[in-house]
Amino acid sequence: MTWIIFATLTALFESTKDVVSKRGLQSLDEYVVAWSMVFFSLPLMLPLLGVIEIPQLGENFWGALFAGGSINVVAILLYIRAIKLADLSLAVPLITFTPLFLLVTSPLIANEMPSPIDAVGILFIVIGSYILNLKPKQQGYFAPFRALLKEKGSQLMLLVAFMWSFSSTFDKVGVRNSSPTFWAIAIHSYIATGMLPIMLYQSRKSLNIIIHNLPKLAPIGFLQGLMVLCQMQAISLALVAQVISIKRTSALLSVLWGHLIFKEQGLKERVAGATVMVAGVILITLA
């Protein structure tokens, strides 16, 4: 099935982008990194307008663009903030909750109804989240859930997962009312434009770092562009919940990168938790 290939490539580019972003955040302003992630995807995507056939836009295109783009402006900023605050291997797997939220948002917005077996996948996601945040036994068995209430990075990532369940569904509407590649270009142009004044205000004292750090910033946008182009192709061929579930298998890769590259601790618990969460999203995919 072609959509699985595109969705798997989406997961690979997503996890690689997280690593490059985390590296950039060690020395760069988070607002600059967030804006660069979107802006530097455009040199990859905009030339495609000269190659693809420009589609006839459906009546719901502009509404989906405004809604999905506006949500993403806020969600991407929060996402980069969460990566900066928390360990990569702890924060990123919480994005796996997006398919859970999609069980509600996808039927409401895109009129897509997942299978009842998705409930089993949801259970796996919750159990995996528990294991992922597992603390020493003396802290109690409810320590993981307390961590979600206390750790700001985890809280922000859960909020991003919720927001992306809406924006992913609007992606489906946008693709239906245009084409996968055209929608990817349109939505990223909107996000880059909407994020620009925020970045200019919040990072007004750090704007010179953009020019001096192009080798760090440009790859983030390039990987983002590759990821979103693959994602939109997959969404055009399958249910949103299926595609995003496969995409979230990037969580396990992020855990491994976090340990190998950033020397983050707790690999055993985090791999176990991320693996269970990935098993949950695979069940949702196969439903």
For the stretch 58-111, pLDDT in tens is 999 999 999 999 999 999 889 888 877 877 666 766 777 787 787 788 787 777
Q: Is 86 exposed, middle or buried (0-12, 13-18, 19+ CB in 10 A)?
A: buried
The token pair that represents 66 in the structure block: 């405004």
Q: Are 240 and 281 in contact (CB under 8 A)?
A: no
Of residues 20 and 224, more confidence is placed in 224
Highest mean pLDDT out of 181-190, 207-216, 247-256: 181-190
pLDDT value for 140: 58
Question: In the chain, pLDDT over 90 holds for what percent of residues?
Answer: 31
Most confident of the following: 128-132, 195-199, 249-253: 195-199
Read off the pLDDT of residues 152-208 as tens digits, 9 standing for 90 and up: 888 888 899 899 989 989 999 999 999 999 999 999 999 999 999 998 888 877 777
Q: Is the dihedral of CA 137, 138, 142, 146 positive or negative?
A: negative
pLDDT band at 131; cut points 50, 70, 90: confident
Quote the mean pLDDT of the chain.
Answer: 81
Cβ 194 vs Cβ 69: under 8 Å: yes
CA distance 264 to 286: 32
pLDDT over 70 (residue 141): no
Q: How far apart are CA 155 and CA 147, in angstroms?
A: 9
The range of the structural domain enclosing residue 140 comes to 2-286
User: Six-digit token pair at 171?
Assistant: 């992606």
Instruction: Write down the pLDDT at residue 276.
Output: 83
Say whether 84 sits in a helix, a strand or coil: helix
**Total tally of structural domains belonging to the chain:** 1
Using pLDDT thresholds of 50, 70 and 90, give the confidence band for residue 41.
Answer: very high
Angle at 104 between CA 100 and CA 107, to 5 degrees: 125
